[in-house]
Amino acid sequence: MLKLAKEANTILFDYRVPLQNGYDNCGVEVENPLQMNGLPISVYAPETVGCVVVDSEGRCAAATSTGGLMNKKCGRIGDSPLIGAGTYACKVCGVSCTGEGEAIIRGTLAREVAAVMEYKGLGLEEAVEYVMEHRLDGGKAGLIAVSSSGEVAYGFNSNAMFRACATQDGFMEVGIWE
């Protein structure tokens, strides 16, 4: 598994920090009785949710849903769910990405994992490591992936990435940091 370390003076962004004015994106105040950490849930940025699966016959699937960046411009679309950029599945693997969508699009990260597996002959973990080190041209991003043989890998270059893994035989793992 991989977590790429950055220099100590790198600025890390946490998009889950509530807005200062209590408004969500597009400047619209939202009333919501739900609370998290004593604050209305509407002041938190929505998170990306990704899922990759493989069935008993080795068929992979991937899906990604994003809330986008906090304080994004009105009308800005989510980048992570774009097929090939942040979401991809084929005969060798399924990949779902999260992070700064512009960097994910420029690197077509999800498709690149599959491409280096197909054309360089790398295993899933090595492909994820290669893509995170050589195809991500700046920006913070992370990804989860599963191969057609059931191998699981992830990579991220931020301070944390929430993730979980479960198998049909009962194995379960949850992670935030390394």
Residues placed in the known binding site for substrate: 76-79, 98-101
Which positions make up the binding site?
Answer: 76-79, 98-101
66 is catalytic: no
Pick the closest to residue 54 from 142, 141, 168, 177 (CA basis): 168
Pick the closest to residue 154 from 167, 165, 166, 168 (CA basis): 165
SS3 126: helix
Cβ contacts of residue 7 below 8 Å, gap of 6+?
none
Looking at 48, 64, 66, 108, which residue is catalytic? 48
Residues classed as catalytic: 48
